[in-house]
Amino acid sequence: MLTKRIIPCLDIKNGRTVKGINFVDLRDAGDPVELAEIYAKNGADELVFLDISATEERRKTLANLVYHVAEKVNIPFTVGGGISSIEDVDILLHNGADKVSINSSAVRNPDLINELSAKFGSQCIVVAIDAKQIDGDWIVHLIGGKVPTELKLFEWAKEVEERGAGEILFTSMDHDGTKDGFANEALAKLSTELNIPIIASGGAGKMQHFTDTFVQGKSDAALAASVFHFKEIEIKDLKEELRRNNIPVRL
């Protein structure tokens, strides 16, 4: 059985790591380079670095910051925010990223998934999907969760896989920052219907939530931010707890 992955997420705004609730009310969580180095030393399996305002402000991801983060870590590292072309991805991979995450640009131009997968390989391409429940349906949102689309989560996820994405990072906007647990029912459906890894995001508040998403949600990886940034959960302790619950992890 493949080991389950624990992935700290560094949401970046103006060069600082930030964290909010339901995608708003952001507060400072520290220097991203320092945090990345700490997480790599403390047992994180991967890192995700998202420039959360890049798309909204029409900026490109901070490639220089990516370079400095990558200098400090020896674990796989995904970068997202404002990526809309082969050239964008080329720059990020050359600056040290192992993978890229696309979201709004994939919805606006689905062929971009095919193009990036063909050029760089599906293992490099993560498609992030932010969704919230509206009238019983999971509806995909863009621009940091600000703009609803007509896309439904499960249909879009299947198309993303067919177009060549290597992984899906699913964030439940309803659960984000609430610390009430992941959207395990939706995650389990994604994991059952798709053949690519599903990363759970949104809702981690205690160690049990990670166990729940690996067992009930059938997630391949679990991503969290504030519980790690503010030292509410230490990754080493979390992995030992997961191992006690018979969940395969890399210690």
Active site residue 130: yes
Burial classification of residue 102, based on how many CB atoms lie within 10 Å of its CB (0-12 exposed, 13-18 middle, 19 or more buried): buried
Shortest CA distance to 49 belongs to which of 107, 123, 128, 118?
128
Q: Please, which residues bridge with residue 67 across strands? A: none
Which 3 state secondary structure label does DSSP give 50?
A: strand
Residue in this structure with the two tokens 């210690």, named with its chain if needed: 251
Active site residue 135: no
- Catalytic residue among 88, 130, 176, 220, which? 130
- Rounded to a whole number of angstroms, the distance between the first and last alpha carbons of the chain is 15
Q: Are residues 193 and 221 in contact, defined by beta-carbon separation less than 8 angstroms?
A: no
- Please identify every residue annotated as catalytic: 11, 130
